Amino acid sequence: MEQWLSQYSGGEFFLGIATSIGQIILALLAFLITRSVGKRLISGSFSKMEVQRGMSAGRVKTLEKLTINAFSYVLIFVFITIVISIFGLDATGLIAGAGVVGLAIGFGAQGLVSDVVTGFFLLLEKQLDVDDYVTAGGVDGIVEQVGLRNTQIRGFDGTLHFVPNRAIGNVSNHSRGNMRALVDMSISYEDNIDEAITVLQAACDRVAAEDEAIKEGPNVIGVQGLGDSDVVLRVIAKTENMQQWAVERKLRKALKEALDANNIEIPFPHQVYIEKKDQ
């Protein structure tokens, strides 16, 4: 900095400041333009890759966001180097310092290194992608971003969880293959079980004909349990990813209406009060 100030004296001082400010503004504009153009090129490249190589949309989003983050970090480092050079400082010292910091991180920050290594294998082995519904690190939700340091998971209540990659001991990915929709319906002990199964299966067939998200079934598999006041009949179907809850809601409505239409009772708790009167 002193070397930079010593270059100017008197009126040249203000001219030098104005020149440096102008150079910084030009560098900032170049940074913003390069970042915008770079993001568009990266997004366009991954869009072409999705079409040409038949990659899944989630996988493309995952790699695209990771590449954009890495590109942004490199661009910020270059911008800082240029600004330091404008003030007459030696940029090689910054680069050497970055190498020393990286070496210190390698020896000291074991948690950070563990995050990076785990994140690398999560991506390499395709354990999860953006938009997948997963259980990881004790958190359930939709993956919004997979980075080399942490994974962002949006919970169903709207909370965004930042899970360090080293905390992900195992991953349960609920978005690979068809999912199961399961509905249990109860009837009273007085009703005929075979008749109830026939009524429920007819309702299931109607729902399957109307809903394209159902890939297999629904089928009434029979008596699941015997309760205190009810007989439990189980219905199972295979659905598209993330559609199992919607199918379950539709099935419950259709099955309830079918039982009501055929005068088959769905039991509910009853309370009996006995009043003892003195003679």
By the 10 Å C-beta count (0-12 exposed, 13-18 middle, 19+ buried), 209 is classed as: exposed
218 vs 196: CA distance, rounded Å = 15
Q: What is the pTM of this model?
A: 0.56
- Give the tens place of pLDDT for each residue, 179-231: 888 999 888 888 888 999 999 999 999 998 888 888 888 999 988 888 888 88
Task: Report residue 85 CA to chain centroid gap.
Answer: 41
- Mean pLDDT in residue range 19-43: 77
What percent of the chain is modeled with pLDDT above 90?
A: 12
DSSP category for residue 125: T
- Mean pLDDT in residue range 116-126: 74
By the 10 Å C-beta count (0-12 exposed, 13-18 middle, 19+ buried), 15 is classed as: exposed
Q: Name the least confident of 25-39, 108-122, 236-250.
A: 108-122
Res. 264 pLDDT band, cuts 50 70 90: confident
- Give the tens place of pLDDT for each residue, 44-76: 776 766 666 666 666 666 677 777 777 777 787
Sign of CA dihedral 95, 101, 106, 109: negative
* 146 bridge partner residues: 151
pLDDT at 40: 80
* Measured CA distances, 243 to 106, 133, 156, 212, 226 (Å): 44, 12, 15, 10, 29
- Mean pLDDT in residue range 113-121: 72
- Mean pLDDT in residue range 122-139: 82
- Mean pLDDT in residue range 28-51: 75
Tokens of 187: 């009837």
Task: Report residue 108 CA to chain centroid gap.
Answer: 31
Q: Are 186 and 233 in contact (CB under 8 A)?
A: yes
